Structure 1
Amino acid sequence: MHTAIRHHHTALHVADLERSARFYVEGLGLTRLNEWTSGPYVGELYGRPIVKVKAMMLTAGDGTFHLELVQVEDPPPAVDPSEAQPGTAHLAFTDIDLREVYARMTKLGYRALSEPVAPTSGPVAGGLLIYLLDPDGNRVELIQPPDWRSSENS
């Protein structure tokens, strides 16, 4: 019996698949793996007969994290994840030059909730944190640990 659970993917429901892909691929540097349109089974799976879904799978540089972007045809009303309402979630990425990524993302027109913040307590004390907002308002946390060193400087 196989008992070890593993992460398969994390999914975000988005309003516009290509718009969101630009944020995660061009902005953050994830890589496109594949994309597809659902078959008839998805209506049963979603509990919404005849619903259609377009999806795209992305991966981080080390290949261990997969992000599925999902665009549902005729979606229900959206919530505002930028307010961190109960029931919403955020993604977090690390091992990046936070200031460089922040500058690139804001130059591309994406919003952040603040300038980079230097936490004074917790596991990232002495490092840097920021929350970016993707095109649908999902929070994307960038974490630069206090001991982070660019692979170029190693």
Structure 2
Amino acid sequence: MRNDSYFQIHHIAIQTADLERSAAFYGETLGLVRIKEEKTPKGRKIIWFDSGTGRIELYSGKPEQALIKPWSPNSVGPISIGFRVNDLEEAVRRLMEANVPVIKPPYEPVPGERAAMIQGPDGEEIVLLEKEVG
């Protein structure tokens, strides 16, 4: 299916409390390709990853700046991201072996669609989808 939409997702930015921990998660655990690192004039560090269909931008706070609101188990984390996977059961199994918290094991949010939810390093909710929505 081709998408000729004028607006297409370029990247999703996530401010993280521990940049290297999050970089290890997205790079090593999820297998995204680390493509660029940079530092802003105010000292914020940024690491870019490519998923093949969009990019993730991880960024630190400014030096000596904590996250405005810490993650809480009583609310959705700072952001929710969705990734498509070829084999949901295999993806969840691999992530559990890597000690990634599984928020919700494989389920059917609507008939015919399968998903699971995991937690990223800063509490971000990551949805794994076995097929395209729509």
1:5-49 Cα offsets, whole Å, 9 max, x none, are 443321000111121112112222211001111114xxxxxxxxx
- Report the TM-score when normalising by structure 2: 0.80
Gaps of 5+ in 1: 41-51, 147-154
Gaps of 5+ in 2: 1-5
- Report the TM-score when normalising by structure 1: 0.71
Q: CA RMSD in A?
A: 2.1
Matched, 1:84 2:76: yes
Taking only the aligned residue pairs, the percentage that are identical comes to 27
Identify, as 1 or 2, the structure richer in strand. 2
Report 1:1-154 matches (<5 A).
Answer: 4-40=6-42, 52-60=43-51, 62=52, 64-72=53-61, 73-76=63-66, 77-80=68-71, 83-84=75-76, 88-119=78-109, 121=110, 125-145=111-131
Tell me if the contact between 1:81 and 1:138 (Cα under 8 Å) persists in the aligned partners. no
Identify, as 1 or 2, the structure richer in helix. 1
Task: Report the structure number with the largest CA radius of gyration.
Answer: 1
Q: 1:66 to 1:56 in 2, by over 3 A?
A: same
**How many aligned positions are there?**
124
